[in-house]
């Protein structure tokens, strides 16, 4: 099995966004990862519905929309309407996580939950059977270009155990600091989806870089 590659548009050139999206369309990328940040849950602000709608007009890949926001339940339908195919919310931001997951599913989007680096995998045991996707943050969320947190490898192994024990069909996604140096190990441990931002968009040949990630085999 080859991994799903989801370049992060946060690292794209926003003065030439259509050009970068057309590059993604031509590449072997499977999804486009879109970070939505509110300046409250994380110390950064990215973009909202209008930009997502513009991305959807030009991008032919499914949009993997990562909500790094407080009260995500207020905006689920709006992000679905703006073009989100996958919607992931942080466990740390949801007082009623099961309700939010079911809300996402009711829009016909795929539902995922994100864990910050300090949040244990065990916190997912009562919800993971309902999930399509689990995202492990391998950096502290909010900014691109951070160094990969090595403890992520151990969390992947624990997450695989929980998925196996519960019979969940959830995919495992790793987000943050993914490069050619750690991608092989990540895929070997069972990661299904690799999010790569700077490593792709700052590459001299992004299409080739995506192809190299895509052709890593478990």
Catalytic residues: 35, 175
Spatial strand order of the sheet with 86-90 comes to: 4-7, 193-196, 171-175, 133-137, 110-115, 86-90, 63-68, 32-37
Structure tokens at 124: 């997912």
Contact at 8 Å (CB) between 50 and 81? no
Cβ density class 48-62: b for 16+ within 10 Å, e for less: beebbebbbeebebb
Question: Burial level of 212, CB count in 10 A (0-12/13-18/19+)?
Answer: middle
Q: Which of 53, 55, 46, 50 is nearest to 17 (CA)?
A: 55
Q: Do residues 139 and 148 lie in contact, with contact meaning Cβ atoms separated by under 8 Å?
A: yes
Report whether 196 contacts 186 (CB < 8 A): no
């Amino acid at each position: 099995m080859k991994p799903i590659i989801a370049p992060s548009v946060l690292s794209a050139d926003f003065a030439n966004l259509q050009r970068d999206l057309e590059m993604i369309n031509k590449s072997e990328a499977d999804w486009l990862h879109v970070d939505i940040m509110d300046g409250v849950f994380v110390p950064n602000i990215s973009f909202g519905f209008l930009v997502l709608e513009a991305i959807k007009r030009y991008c032919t890949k499914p949009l993997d929309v990562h909500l790094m926001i407080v009260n995500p339940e207020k905006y689920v339908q709006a992000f679905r309407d703006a073009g989100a195919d996958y919607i992931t919310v942080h466990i740390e931001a949801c007082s009623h996580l099961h309700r939010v997951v079911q809300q996402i599913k009711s829009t016909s989007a795929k539902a995922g939950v994100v864990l910050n680096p300090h949040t244990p995998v065990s916190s997912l045991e009562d919800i993971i059977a309902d999930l399509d996707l689990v995202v492990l943050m391998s950096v502290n969320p909010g900014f691109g270009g951070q160094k990969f947190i090595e403890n992520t490898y151990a969390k992947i192994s624990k997450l695989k155990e929980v998925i196996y024990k519960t019979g969940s069909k959830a995919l495992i996604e790793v987000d943050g600091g993914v490069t050619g140096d750690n991608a092989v190990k990540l895929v070997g441990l069972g990661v299904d989806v690799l999010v790569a931002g700077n490593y792709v968009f700052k590459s001299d040949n992004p299409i080739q870089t995506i192809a190299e990630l895509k052709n890593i085999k478990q």
